Every structure is written in C-alpha cells, then in structure tokens.
Amino acid sequence: MAKLNGKVIAGKVLVKPSAALEQTAGGIYIPDSAKDKPLQGEVVIVGAALKDQTVEVKQGDVVTYGKYGGTELEIDGEKYLLISQTDILYIF
C-alpha cells in the first residue's frame, strides 16, 4: 500500500477494507453479485480526537465497523472507507 498524503478531519478514520471472500469453507466460489461488503479493515489514517473524545485507534490497527457506516472513497485507484471513530465496533 502506497503512502497516502493527506489529512482526515477530526473524529474520522480512513480504513482500507479487507477483501471479500472469494470462496466458502466448503470450496464453493461466491459470485460478485452475492458477496457481502467486508466489515473489517486496516486503519490507514486517523483524524484528531473530537473535543470530548479520545482517539482509541492508531494506524495499522485492524478494526470491525458497522455495516452501513462510512463513505466509500477511491484514492489513487485504491478503495477506502471514511468512517467515524464512533462507528468502530472492535479493535483487533
């Protein structure tokens, strides 16, 4: 992953979503139309803390986030998700 230049506003996190499953545990291939949107990803850029919050995540953390949270962005041909820090459910 290339180094991104830029900044994320306070309270937001830029996440690189994990790849969707290509195949089930039993070996069945999943077509693109049936793939679920991944709910995990790696934190790429962290914005500053909001006035009454602390920053819980750091660059490189793997996180789980809500299914409908965030905005999809494409930067330098890569897909990212810009989410609120409050939409992060779990940090690995």
CB of 79 closer than 8 Å to CB of 20: no
- For residue 1, pLDDT over 60 is answered with no
What topology is assigned to 12-91 in CATH?
Answer: 10 Kd Chaperonin, Protein Cpn10; Chain O (2.30.33)
Domain map (residue ranges) of the chain: 12-91
Among 23-27, 47-51, 70-74, name the one with the lowest average pLDDT: 23-27
Burial of 43 (C-beta count, 10 Å sphere; 0-12/13-18/19+): buried
35-65 pLDDT per residue, tens:
667 789 999 999 998 888 888 899 999 999 9
More confident of the two residues 51 and 23: 51
* DSSP assigned state of 49: P
- d(C-alpha 59, C-alpha 61), whole Å: 6
